[in-house]
Amino acid sequence: DTAVSQTPKYLVTQMGNDKSIKCEQNLGHDTMYWYKQDSKKFLKIMFSYNNKELIINETVPNRFSPKSPDKAHLNLHINSLELGDSAVYFCASRPTGPGYGYTFGSGTRLTVV
Amino acid sequence: AQKVTQAQTEISVVEKEDVTLDCVYETRDTTYYLFWYKQPPSGELVFLIRRNSFDEQNEISGRYSWNFQKSTSSFNFTITASQVVDSAVYFCALSEGYNNNDMRFGAGTRLTVKP
C-alpha cells in the first residue's frame, strides 16, 4: 500500500481555472505538508498541518489554500491558476517528535497553459 | 534563519569513481536535524539518512557514507564506486528545534554517472 498518495499525478489546465490536488497518508502521521518544486528543482515549503491546525503558512499567494478534512488528508486548492504556478507539488507527512524524516508522495506535475 | 547550501549544481563522473556531494548549513539552534534525500529521474523523493546535532558519528551504508562535522557546519555525502543508477538529484535538508516542524532544502546537486 502506498504510504503517501497524491492524485492526480499529472494535471494540465488553462489559466484562470480552479483545481485541487488530493493527498492521503496511511501512516498515522500527525503532520502533513505541501512543497512546491520549481523547474530548477528547488523545493520550497508551502504549508503544513498538525492535527488539523495550520502551523506554517509560507508567503504563498492566497490563491492557494490547504484543506484538511481529517488527520490523514491534506488537499491543496488553487484558484485562478497562473502560468507561474506550473511546477511539481509534493505532499509529505511525518510523525510527531524529533528527528523524523518526511515521507513524500510521488508528486503532482501541474502545467498551466 | 536556517539555511542549506549545496554549492555543486551538477557533477558528472564515470562509473566506479567515488564522488562527494557537499552540504553546508547555517543554524542558530543547538538542536537540529540534517537529512539527505535522493530524487531519481522518475521524480520521487527518497529518504536516505538523518542525523541529529548531538551525534557526529559518521555513517556508512553500503556504498554510501556521510561525514558530519559541526566544526565546519558540513554534512557531506560520499558515494563509493558510483553506478549509473546513482544518477539523480540529491538534496540536503535541515530542520531546527526539538520538534523539527519544518524542513528546509538545499538547491540540490544533480549527479550524472556515465557508463
Contacts of A24 (CB under 8 A, 6+ apart): A4, A5, A72, A73
Distance CA B39, CA B57 (A): 25
Of residues A44, A56, A106, nearest to B43 (C-beta): A106
* Predicted pLDDT of residue B59: 84
Residue of A nearest to B105 (CA): A43
* Predicted pLDDT of residue A51: 74
Is B44 in Cβ contact with A106 (below 8 Å)?
yes
Res. B99: pLDDT tops 80? no
pLDDT-derived band at A65, boundaries 50, 70, 90: very high
pLDDT-derived band at B7, boundaries 50, 70, 90: very high
Res. B67: pLDDT tops 90? yes
Residue of B nearest to A88 (CA): B43
Encode pLDDT of A72-94 as tens digits: 999 999 999 999 999 999 999 99
* Predicted pLDDT of residue A42: 92
Q: Which of A71, A66, A110 is nearest to A93 (CA)?
A: A71
pLDDT, averaged across chain B: 92
Of residues A41, A50, A103, nearest to B108 (C-beta): A41
Query: How far separated are the first and last CA of chain A, in Å rounded?
Result: 34
